[in-house]
Structure 1
Amino acid sequence: MITYAIFFAFGCYGLGLLMNLWRLARGPGRADRILALDTMVINVIALIVLYGIWQGTAVYFEASMLVAMVGFVSTVAYCRFILRGDIIE
């Protein structure tokens, strides 16, 4: 039964990832595109965790932590670039 739930979650997060890709391409403003990228990072983290549950190994949980850290730093850097025109002051 857990296998069906995991595959359903894969489908839901995959669909969410495609919707975020659409928002990234068609977003009316830069803020919408930044939010779409940040939400895509969250969806990728969820997919990695689900894959780790499906495989039954803890390596993917550590990989999801690395993706989360890189995603946070990249979102902050992109926002600073949009607001100030440069990342490092």
Structure 2
Amino acid sequence: MKARIFQKPKNAMQSGRAGTQRWMLEFAPAEARKADPLMGWAGSGDTRRQLRLSFASRDEALAYAARNGIEAEVVPTPERKLKIQAYADNFR
């Protein structure tokens, strides 16, 4: 079992940062998705793909993975780059 541990990024469509401090553990897909012959929807038999665990810290997520024998990779959080500009800058 492989998994990745990461922090959820801020939604680009909203200004709030609620839920971005939590660390998520998400399993890697075990099998590829395939089209359903009847409906054409993409799906697979991998039920772990639906599972997403939330933790308060990175250390808690790593401890959970170690306790349950999950091979986990920590994805570093990208640095936020702010582009501060005023409305008047649009008319320069």
TM-score calculated relative to the size of structure 2: 0.29
* Higher relative strand content: 2
* Higher relative helix content: 1
Higher relative contact order (CA 8 A, sep 6+): 2
TM-score calculated relative to the size of structure 1: 0.30
